[in-house]
Every structure is written in structure tokens, then in C-alpha cells.
């Protein structure tokens, strides 16, 4: 009888552990802290920003896909960039995989564009982010560097955006 009771307890504990793992929900931007990661030294003419998504919850959540970003000028107007998920000289072209973000843990993405060689018409002042599968946005002021300048539609309007990854090094092509 004692052995049967022990087996029932073990089965119950195993079941609750499985239930907590399978009940991990998608991360919501309201529960994430958005900040910029370390600066990236480049030799390509690209200007790259890495972004940290920190889970403020006391439980894990998951993300899969690409963030939806918009780059805004100092008046809050969207600059006319074309966003790409194909990678470039710095940003990975890997397909997204599910990322489990532990309680208090972080995930990462990066974006970049080639500098304006002739003349910049404007400069990005704000990054607006929505997580995959959501229209809810959060904005953060761009720091002084990297400079994500706007050259006009005819010249370098492309911004490469990485998938969300568990490790910062994974957002880059050389990972």
C-alpha cells in the first residue's frame, strides 16, 4: 500500500511538472523590458543595433518569429524603410525557431542598414517594436550610436531584421 501511495505521488509530481512546462505562454510586450544591447563593431558600412527583450514575469514565456519594427524620426513619423528578413553582411538569414525565455531571462534581435554615403535626409530617433503575433507596440528612444540614418527611398532604404533568438550571438550571420 505504501509503494502504491509513493507511485501515485511521483506520478502526480511528474504530471504537474509536465503541465507547467506545457502551459508556457507566448511572451507579451507588456511583460518585457525593451533595451539596447552591446554595440557591434563593424567593418562593412552597416550600422547595427542589438535589442534585448527581458522577461519581467516570474514564469517563462515563448517567442517565435521576427519582431515587427518601425523606425521613427524626431517628430514620431515613420521613416520609409523597407524591412527584410533575408539577412545581410551582419544579420543572420536563419529561419526563426521557438525561443523559451525563462523568468528574468532575455532574448535578442538585431537590425541594421547601410550608412548614407552621400547625404542623410533624416535620422532615426525612436524604435517601435511589436512581438510576433501581436499588434501591441512598445517604443524606445534610440541611443546616439548606432546612427540609423535615412537617405531617401532611392538610396539604401533597406533594414535587415533578425529573428528573435535566445543568444545575442545567434542574431548575427557569423554565429
Mean pLDDT, range 162-171, rounded to an integer: 97
Q: What are phi and psi of 113, to 5 degrees?
A: -150, 160
- Strand order in 158-161's β-sheet? 32-36, 46-55, 106-114, 158-161, 82-84
pTM of this structure: 0.84
DSSP class per residue in 25-61: EEP-GGGEEEEE------SSSEEEEEEEEEE-SSS-E
Tell me the per-residue pLDDT of 50-63, one tens digit each, with 9 for 90 and over. Answer: 999 999 999 999 99
CA distances from 123 to 96, 116, 129, 141 (A): 29, 10, 18, 12
Q: What percent of the chain is modeled with pLDDT above 90? A: 69
Contact 115, 149 (CB under 8 A): yes
3-7 — which CB contacts under 8 Å span 24+ positions?
none
Count of residues making up the chain: 175
Amino acid at each position: 500500500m505504501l509503494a502504491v501511495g509513493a507511485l501515485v505521488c511521483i506520478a502526480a509530481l511528474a504530471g504537474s511538472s509536465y503541465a507547467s512546462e506545457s502551459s508556457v505562454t507566448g511572451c507579451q510586450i507588456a511583460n518585457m523590458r525593451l533595451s539596447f544591447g552591446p554595440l557591434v563593431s563593424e567593418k562593412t558600412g552597416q550600422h547595427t543595433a542589438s535589442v534585448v527583450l527581458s522577461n519581467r514575469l516570474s514564469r517563462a514565456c515563448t517567442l517565435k518569429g521576427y519582431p515587427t519594427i518601425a523606425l521613427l524620426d524626431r517628430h514620431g513619423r515613420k521613416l520609409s524603410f523597407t524591412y527584410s528578413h533575408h539577412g545581410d553582411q551582419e544579420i543572420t538569414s536563419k529561419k526563426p525557431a521557438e525561443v523559451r525565455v525563462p523568468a528574468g531571462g532575455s532574448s535578442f534581435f538585431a537590425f541594421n542598414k547601410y550608412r548614407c554615403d552621400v547625404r542623410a535626409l533624416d535620422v532615426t530617433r525612436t524604435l517601435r517594436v511589436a512581438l510576433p503575433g501581436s499588434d501591441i507596440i512598445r517604443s524606445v528612444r534610440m541611443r546616439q550610436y548606432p546612427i540609423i540614418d535615412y537617405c531617401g527611398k532611392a538610396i539604401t532604404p533597406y533594414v535587415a531584421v533578425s529573428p528573435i533568438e535566445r543568444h545575442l550571438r545567434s542574431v548575427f550571420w557569423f554565429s
